[in-house]
Amino acid sequence: MKILSIVLVFSINLCFAQTENSDVNNIFNNIIKAIGNNSKLQPGLEIKPDGNKMAYLSPKANTIYIDQKAIDICNSFDKNEANGLAFLLGHELTHHYMGHSWISKDDRKDYKGFSFMENIRYFNKDSTRRLEMESQADLKGGFSAFLAGYDALTIAPDLLDTLYERYELSKKSTGYPSLDERKGMCLQQIEKLDRLKSIFNASTYALNAGYYKGAQEGFTKIISEGFNSREIYNNLALAYLLDALKKMDNKNILGYPFEFDAQSRLNDVSTRAISNYDNASKIKMLIEKGILLFNQALKLDSKYQTAQLNICCAYSLLAELYAEDDIEKNKYLSEANKSLHQFELMLANKYAPEDEELRNKYEKKPQKTLAKYNNKEITSHYIISAILINQNGEKSDSNKAKKLLLKASKLKSTLANINLAKLNGTLNKESKPTKPSSNEIIDGFKPASLMAGFSDFPKPFDTYRLNDCKLYVKKFENSTAYLFKSREKFFIHTTKTQSTSAGLKINNNIKLIESKYNEYPITIKGTIENFYHLDNNNLLFLEKDNKISGWATYQTND
């Protein structure tokens, strides 16, 4: 198969070359999306057919250049070709978004741009700062690539071996770092990146499993260290909003477009007055923190519709919190409607960027104009609009709300169906089964004694101080276990190789979950993988391309 004929090999190379540029652009755009920062103009990407600089950023041209030779070298790493390209592109994109433009006029003669190698060529001029920038570009570029779904830094040392050889850079060359020095920089950043990845993964699992305190601690730690993508701000803000909703514990509140577990929360009628919030000040603080964080996400990306919609939901929650105080309620409803209008303007600019007349129609009658788009945006618009209308409290408003929810229901929105049934008084009042003690054992580890406080992780394990709690991370042969420990504990054990005790295997169709566990999962959309939460079984499944890509079991004593 390797050498069928010269003609066949040439044909294969032609086909590969035709798809290469598309692959490179996809990786480039995926990392930019993960960085989530449009406060700076997005750089262009250009492939140099006969270049000799591997990859570099030209601030003047606002363009990142990558050599075809460098692309070919990355492609020679078989299944790791995308990771190699992500390493080079993520590195240069970090230079762009971090604003590494300090080079003086005296340097410009021998310094053409932010070249992957030449950026650290002239050590004698400012070696400390240049090395600091390169280390930062490795780490932040590696983390952005990780958020985009690539394992960029792991491949870097082997990739550097080949790059040095093919670009004929001596292992010890005047002006350049030695190969060992360059690889050493990467290895240092790999250790730091592994720590960030552990905190991010633990926080993501905690958020999706409903342990909002742990998610708040983890995402806050990542942001405090300068890794502030729009998604991390949004995830942290969601952890505060969901925590507030949990503390409100009011089943009369309709389900929001940001909410994961609306059906479980709404499966009964609240028996207490909605004004009886003994912890109202604490709930208000959580919601206001969420609003601040959503606004931080919008500062990074002014077109980030998700954050704008969530701000609208947050103000609506504040209106619910003060439902018995007309002045406060109306103040927050006013803010919610203003936020909804901003969301509508975003949609208008998205769907009619060049057509002012059509854009005006979107702005004046957004629901009618956007109705032709069968997507999540218009569905969410129907739902939040219905909630805001219903909060006015008039019977006529309730009827208007039902009509909007019916429209969203026709777009196959489960949340709209739940809210509609709630308003009509027809929601099934199913008693929620008692949570079982988890009987899942991964890599032979039994967490029962750990949660009871009689033992700890088997050594060796990593310990990370967050804020009010510690995160313990234990890597087993086929899995990773995480323990958030403060006044309460949350334990989650994940694997991407082993089967569940019920016989579900990696790569099984995701639809098999319901038949095996007799529970309808809570579906949570993720960037790379989606999450399926089985609340009554303490299980979390990861899904990609309709197949199970991993799963986790969890326990909490909060």
**CA pair distance 517, 217, nearest whole angstrom:** 31
Alpha-carbon torsion 493, 496, 501, 504, what sign?
positive
Q: How far, in Å, are 231, 433, 543 from residue 292 at the CA level?
A: 14, 37, 31
How many angstroms separate the CA atoms of 540 and 553, rounded? 6
The pLDDT of residue 100:
65
- Dig out the tokens for 274 from the structure: 């909605």
Distance CA 481, CA 135 (A): 29
Give alpha helix (H) positions in 374-527.
376-390, 395-410, 414-424, 448-452, 512-517
Q: Count of CB atoms within 10 A of residue 153's CB?
A: 29
The first and second tokens of residue 345, run together, are: 């303007």
Residue by residue, pLDDT tens for the chain (558 residues) are 332 222 223 323 333 333 356 789 999 999 999 998 887 889 999 999 977 788 888 888 899 999 999 999 999 998 889 999 999 999 999 989 887 654 444 444 444 444 454 544 443 445 566 677 788 889 999 999 999 999 999 999 999 999 988 888 766 555 556 788 888 889 999 999 999 999 999 999 999 999 999 999 999 999 999 998 899 999 999 999 999 999 998 888 899 998 776 666 666 555 444 556 778 999 999 999 999 999 999 999 999 999 999 999 999 999 999 998 999 999 999 999 999 999 988 888 888 888 888 878 777 777 777 766 667 788 899 999 999 999 987 766 788 999 999 999 988 888 999 899 989 888 776 555 555 555 789 999 888 778 777 677 788 999 999 999 999 999 999 999 999 998 889 999 999 999 999 999 999 999 999 888 888 888 888 888 999 999 889 999 999 999 999 999 999 886
Q: Show the DSSP H helices in 167-279 as ranges.
A: 179-209, 212-224, 230-248, 262-265
Residues facing 58 on adjacent strands: 63
* pLDDT (0 to 100) of residue 40: 82
What residue ranges define each of the domains in the chain, with the CATH number in brackets?
Answer: 6-177 (3.30.2010.10), 228-424 (no CATH), 448-556 (no CATH)
**Could you tell me if 493 and 481 are in contact, meaning their C-beta atoms sit under 8 angstroms apart?**
yes
pTM of the model: 0.87
Distances, alpha carbon 524 to alpha carbons 207, 244, 482, in Å: 10, 19, 20
pLDDT of residue 177: 65
Cα angle, residue 498 at apex, residues 492 and 502 outer, rounded to 5°: 85
